[in-house]
Each structure stands twice: as structure tokens, then as C-alpha cells.
Amino acid sequence: MFLLNASQRITLTSRLVNPRHVLKCSGSLSRINRPNAGFILTNSRELGGSPSSPQRVTLPNKLTSTTKTWVDHMPRSIQPYLYLTRIDKPIGTLLLFYPCAWSITMASYALEVPFTTPLTYIGLFGLGAIIMRGAGCTINDMWDKNLDKAVERTKDRPLARGDITPRQAFGFLGMQLTAGLGVLLQLNWYSILLGASSLSVVTIYPFMKRITHWPQAVLGLAFNWGALLGWSAVAGTVNWSVCLPLYAGGVCWTLVYDSIYAHQDKNDDVNVGIRSTALLFGSHTRPIISALSLSSLSLITYAGFLNVQGAPFYAGVGLASLQLARVLYQTDFDCRPSCWKGFVGCGWAGFWIWVGALADYALMLTGTS
């Protein structure tokens, strides 16, 4: 399908002539440079008109801000800061949390510690994931304030829209990092140093999209640090033989879900000079991220093997495999809503891996493993 101005003509493919599909996937299309709502010319026969006259399908001017969330019911003075942290979209926090949860649970299984140990650290790392995911979003938006203004999906973010100033965002970031440090200080010194060392990767990630097509790989290095940190929190040190393949598997998993995510903005990214694996992979995205999915699951399975995990762990990995296969089969990389659905769907793969590890640990506690 082609976006046209009033002087152009269009012939739609049979798949996209349905106006419902046009509206559903309009977010993935390049926008005409105009102040008001855009339009797509469609074959009017499909809309019930005469075959010779095209009709306009009006698209909403804002694709994201029309949806109300619980944040809109909070005091107006704090709404921009809540939106800055993306706390209304918990999927990012979960994607950061799951590698921590895998590692904590697998270490607890290996060391046969009482349930209070993983319970304590799951709580700490859960809180830490909420805080540090929000801090990462603040850092990202401070870097990308001007770029976000030129991207349809991000132009209404608080910094891009001017709801808060860079100085206010910097002060808020200081509060977030202080809170994150408070959580980190609850761990042993080995883990404190290991956790602090990840901040440099978090900070440079937004810059990577300006110089390389692989910013998703850098994000993977940052987002899966918990695969190392979770184990050290429980054990006092990292079992590198288990944690390195677990970490590498998590990085491959991030490349899968964040490449899908990046397809939402690929048209705008070309215009503003942002690079991503979505643009690098192009029409080969599906086979490439299928290979990355296989690599991710293989590495995580290998980590489980080295940790002498039981059948429930591998059942969890099997469910994760089915979930990723479903996402890869169903996602339309030229449709923004479909990409968002696929991105969220990848999170369930991480959930099932954790469920498998939890089941293994529970069986160990009951003596039936």
C-alpha cells in the first residue's frame, strides 16, 4: 500500500483494501508532512462507493496520546514524570526483570537455599527493575529529546513535548539513581560493584543508535545484566560457566524483541537518521530473528544443562519456544500495532522460562526433584 497526496492515484493489494486493516495498521505508514490528520486513498469499491471515485480514510492525528491510562488520574504535576518512566507500560520493566529472576531462581536451585532467599531477592530485584527501567527511559529521552519530536510514536513524550525541561528531567534522574543505589546497597559488595559497572552501558545505549545499526545489541548487554547480578546476589559470586550462556541467551532474546519493537519507527528513523537492526535486517527480519530466537533458547537450555536443571525447566523453555514461534509467525513487520503486540508477546517467553525454573526449584524444596 502507498501513502499518497491528493494528486496521486493508488491501487491497493487485495490484502490491504479492507479499510479496517488500513486503520489498524496506519501507524506503520510514512506520514505526509502536514499539520492535520492525514488520509489514505483506497479503492472505493471496497468501501461501498463507485468504482471510479477514490475515498479518503481519515487517520487520527495522534496515534498514542488518545488512549487514557491510570496515569491520567494522578495529580497533573507528577503525570509528566510518570510518563517519562513509562510506568504505564510495564512490559519494559518485565523484560528487565526476567533475566534477574531466571538467575536468582537457578542459583537458589543449585545452592538449595530456603525459599526465603529467592523471595527476598525477587522482591529487591523487582523494585530495582521498576526504578532502573524508569531511569533508563529518562536517560534515553534526555539524549533523544530532539529526535523524538520527529518520530510519530514518540513526539508526545514529556521532554519532546516540553511538559518538563531537561533540567527537571536531570533532577528527576538523580532521584531515580539514588533510589536505585538504595536497592543495590542491600546486596553483597561483590554484587554492588558488579551492578554499578552496568551503568556505563545503560548510559551509552541511546548514543549507539546514532553510530551503529546494532543499538539493540547494546541494549541487550544492559537489559540482561541481571543474569549475572542475580546469581551473585544469592551466591556471593558469579558462576560464570552457567551465567555466561544465560546472559548470552538473554542478549539474543533482546535482539529479537527489540528488533520487532524497532520496526514500529523504521520509516521515521530513516528520515531522522536513527539506525537499528530493523533497518539493517529489512526484508530478511523474519529469518534473522528466527535464528536469534533459536540461539537464545539453545544458550538458555545449555545454561540449564550446566546447572543440572530438571524436566520442569526444559518444559518452560519449550513453552517459551512455542511462544516465540507464534510471535514470529503472526507479526506483520509493516504494521505498527502488530509489532507492538509481537514485542509484548516476546515477554511471555521470558515468563515461561522463569516458570520452568520456579517449578524446578519448588520440586527441589519438596524433595521430589
User: Using one digit for the tens of pLDDT, what is the confidence trace for 331-345?
Assistant: 999 999 999 999 999
Rounded-to-integer distance, Cα 361 and Cα 115, Å = 9
DSSP class of residue 7 equals T
What's the residue count for the chain? 369
Top CATH class of 73-366 equals mainly alpha
Rounded-to-integer distance, Cα 95 and Cα 257, Å = 9
Q: Can you say whether the dihedral through the CA atoms of 47, 48, 53, 56 is positive or negative?
A: negative
User: Residue 47 is placed in which grid cell?
Assistant: 468501501
Question: What number of other Cβ atoms are within 10 A of residue 197's Cβ?
Answer: 12
User: Using one digit for the tens of pLDDT, what is the confidence trace for 66-117?
Assistant: 578 899 989 999 999 999 999 999 999 999 999 999 999 999 999 999 999 9
User: Using one digit for the tens of pLDDT, what is the confidence trace for 301-329?
Assistant: 999 999 999 999 999 999 999 999 999 99
Taking residues 338-365, what's their average pLDDT?
A: 96
Which pLDDT does position 338 carry in this prediction?
96
Rounded-to-integer distance, Cα 231 and Cα 57, Å = 54
User: Using one digit for the tens of pLDDT, what is the confidence trace for 225-249?
Assistant: 999 999 999 999 999 999 999 999 9
Cβ-contact 150, 156 below 8 angstroms: no
Residues with Cβ < 8 Å from 127, sequence gap 6 or more? 183
SS3 state of residue 47: helix
Q: Domain map of the chain by residue range?
A: 73-366
Measure the CA angle with vertex 87, ends 345 and 153; round to 5°. 70
Amino acid letter, residue 118: P
